[in-house]
Amino acid sequence: MLLKVVAVAGGSRFAVRVQPRASRSEIVGVQDAALRVRLTAPPVDGQANVALVALLAQRLDVRKADVTIVAGQTGRGKWVEVVGLTPEEVVRRLGVG
């Protein structure tokens, strides 16, 4: 299954499924058109969200300020928006396409 990335004004948006408290932080792959990510951070006080933004910014080679969780701040399923990248660039940089 391929990651579904849609173009939005100024960037791209895609779904992410997070597994907190994992043994290591990593991008696992794609499931149900959403990016699967494991994070060592616990889902407490937004720690997992901060870790997710940092991991995605690093993999996408953008600033942390360019990665925003636009929906799902308190759940495992999230929508992430990246400023300045086309959907094709997001897929290529994440290596899941």
Q: Which CATH superfamily is domain 5-94 in?
A: YggU-like (3.30.1200.10)
pLDDT value for 18: 97
**Of 69 and 2, more confident:** 69
Average pLDDT over residues 21-37: 95
Residue 21 has pLDDT above 90, yes or no: yes
Q: What is the Rg, in whole angstroms, of the alpha carbon atoms belonging to the chain?
A: 12
Query: What are the extents of the domains in the chain?
Result: 5-94
13 pairs with which residues across the strands?
A: 6, 81
What is the per-residue pLDDT across 77-87, written as a single tens digit (0 to 9) for each?
Answer: 999 999 999 99
Q: From CA 54, how far away is CA 42, in angstroms rounded?
A: 14
Which of these, 29, 21, 26, lies nearest to 76 by C-alpha position? Answer: 21
State the pTM of this model: 0.94
* Burial of 27: CB neighbours in 10 Å, binned 0-12, 13-18, 19+: middle
Which of these, 67, 72, 3, 78, lies nearest to 35 by C-alpha position? Answer: 3
